[in-house]
Chain A
């Protein structure tokens, strides 16, 4: 890489929220910020990524001197003393920047491993930088690759597939039972905070109709309006057990409000064979014996928490696979960048030697006098093969991926000097 690739930033691991919030860049401020940064001397390309967990600037520059200016800019922006900010900042270079971006976009560096929002946030940062024309070729390739790798990580490892909150766990289980959620009906008993949130997630997932029953009918109506649903009287819930597919209970009743006999009657009257019951209340509202009825699946708040815990564990396992995948992708991308980086020197070298070959051949042919076309072809082939053999080793060395950046630069300079390139 002829340009220095640098990332300067802080995140939820290195800086408390008090510092992060001072440096936060709102989406509407992206363009102005990028223009400011691009206007700084020595910056060829720049992108910024600002989320609630991180503020990072990615820079492509001919020299690393630019780091100083960026740190000063961050201090001014957050009105933080330099020695204070430096405690929280990290500066990454070359491969570390590539690996960091791949990990961030894949959700491996997030507070909740595998969370899906970060992929969209990285994409938004890329698009904003594209709109402001603040990216150079190197950053453009880096961000495109980052998004490709993030997608690959999510598809191949399924790292973001498992719910890590109680309401999402309920939706995940509902999906595991019903598959397609469109057309399903849910009955909400009581109006606890988690049950409301669960109903909201189910609603978003496609549940068509939500019925709400509460001891206070006014509260039921209010909640029903929120979900574009229907309020029902608490005493009339049994017919709805036969028509609804999902029941969420979270009343403050100190006793069971759904008994096995009610569910058995409902199961006989139902057209479908499955009923998913979620009991989010303590003390429990649904008799645990209901879970023994064929076709009825009962989960209480502990069961859902257990699902969440095992999902967290699963995500951690998958993070291991994802890290290995990211490492492979970093190496592949690094090699590709190096190969692309060496291309101008290689092309120049080939052109210079080809010019020598063509000139010398012409002189030689003039001295030789008349020769047959076959003889000419043989001489041409001989000279071309000689040039190719001479170039073989220097080209291999120029593409060598294990060289350190300084070594690579010095090799390029040496080759240019030896062969008299510009």
Chain B
């Protein structure tokens, strides 16, 4: 049996889960939303199995090429969403997080590459720390962006006095803002440590801090944009449009950084 079977099973469940969750937007039924969650969790279990297969076959974390990294980010994003869901029962985040997870895993399935064996020169603690911290940091930042979007949608609904389809699913504006701030703050700290580890590793191996590759530029631009977003939160000044524009740019920069990952 091909080791990628579990990847396709996961993808199928994620697609079904996302579809069902989006249907719940219109049916406004908790049961439909929960059915979507069950499908997503089933997909995530299959996804976990696929990641385990990579680890078992290659003997290293599944982070050496684009499909592996995208898959691991998707896995971590869903894990973070699960933790937040069971802690805060925020259903609406799923409308942003599920499609994101589906998109990332689709990248893994479409960009099919053989399981990469890691270059022995890369088997350093610093490199592993860089890859792991950056991935977990990016996952947290993406979830944080989902909550920032929820806060924005809620803000617009309250301003326009028009209830959108998400109105009932989104918790209070303050909860959305507090959660997005906390998740972004934690994600940003981890991401910063990941970037620093990467810069140090690059300096050790190539004597250059950065080489100007797409993923590096994307990662640094994303870091600057997330820093600007956090600054807005810390100052306590809310500017709806500015927040939206920075969030959108940060998301694009992060996606560019992820898509820029090649074989290392």
Contact = CB atoms under 8 A, between A and B. Distances in A.
Interface of A: 156, 158, 173, 175-180, 270-274, 291, 294-295, 297, 299, 303, 306-307, 310, 321
Contact of B159 (A156, A179, A273, A291): A291
A273 B172 contact: no
B195 to A, nearest CB: 29
B238 A175 contact: no
A299 B161 contact: yes
Contacts of B172: 175-180
B243 to A, nearest CB: 9
B158 A176 contact: yes
A325 to B, nearest CB: 10
Given A176-B154, A297-B159, 20 more contacts: A158-B30, A158-B168, A175-B172, A176-B158, A176-B173, A177-B158, A177-B172, A177-B174, A179-B173, A180-B174, A270-B236, A273-B177, A273-B236, A274-B174, A294-B238, A295-B238, A299-B161, A306-B161, A310-B163, A321-B29
Interface in B125-173: 154, 158-159, 161, 163, 168, 171-173
Output the residue of A176, A179, A297 with the most chain B CB within 10 A.
A176
Contacts of B177: 273
B175 interface: yes
Interface string B161-193: 101000010011111010000000000000000
B240 interface: yes
Interface residues of B, number: 20
B121 interface: no
B31 A156 contact: yes
Contacts, number: 47
Contacts of B123: none
B239 interface: yes
Contacts of B31: 156
B237 interface: yes
Contacts of A274: 173-174, 238
Nearest to A317: B28
B158 A173 contact: yes
A182 to B, nearest CB: 12
B77 to A, nearest CB: 25
A321 B32 CA distance: 13
The 7 closest A-B pairs by CB, nearest first: A179-B172, A273-B238, A295-B238, A179-B175, A179-B174, A297-B158, A177-B173
A271 B238 contact: no
Contacts of B158: 173, 176-177, 297
Given A291-B159, A303-B161, A178 B174 contact: yes
Contacts of B163: 310
A355 B171 CA distance: 65
Nearest to B241: A294
A308 to B, nearest CB: 12
Contacts of A310: 163
Contacts of B29: 321
A64 B39 CA distance: 52
A158 B27 CA distance: 13
A299 B162 CA distance: 12
Nearest to A299: B161
A158 B91 CA distance: 15
5 contacts: A173-B158, A294-B240, A295-B238, A297-B159, A299-B161
Contacts of B240: 294
B140 to A, nearest CB: 22
Interface in B214-253: 236-240
A273 B237 contact: yes
Interface centre among A173, A177, A271, A273 (most CB of B within 10 A): A273
Contacts of B173: 176-179, 274
A267 to B, nearest CB: 9
Contacts of A156: 30-31
A270 B154 CA distance: 21
Contacts of A178: 172-174
A3 B159 CA distance: 59
Contacts of A173: 158
B160 to A, nearest CB: 10
Contacts of A177: 158, 172-174
Contacts of A158: 30, 168
Contacts of A299: 161
Nearest to B154: A176
Contact of B236 (A180, A272, A303, A321): A272
A272 B172 CA distance: 15
B174 to A, nearest CB: 5
A303 B163 CA distance: 12
A271 B236 contact: yes
A419 to B, nearest CB: 46
Contacts of A297: 158-159
A257 to B, nearest CB: 22
A17 B154 CA distance: 43
Contacts of B154: 176
Contacts of B168: 158
Contacts of B30: 156, 158
Contacts of B175: 179
B58 to A, nearest CB: 46
B179 to A, nearest CB: 11
B213 to A, nearest CB: 38
Nearest to B172: A179
Nearest to A268: B237
A178 B173 CA distance: 6
B239 A294 contact: yes
B242 to A, nearest CB: 9
A299 to B, nearest CB: 7
A189 B37 CA distance: 47
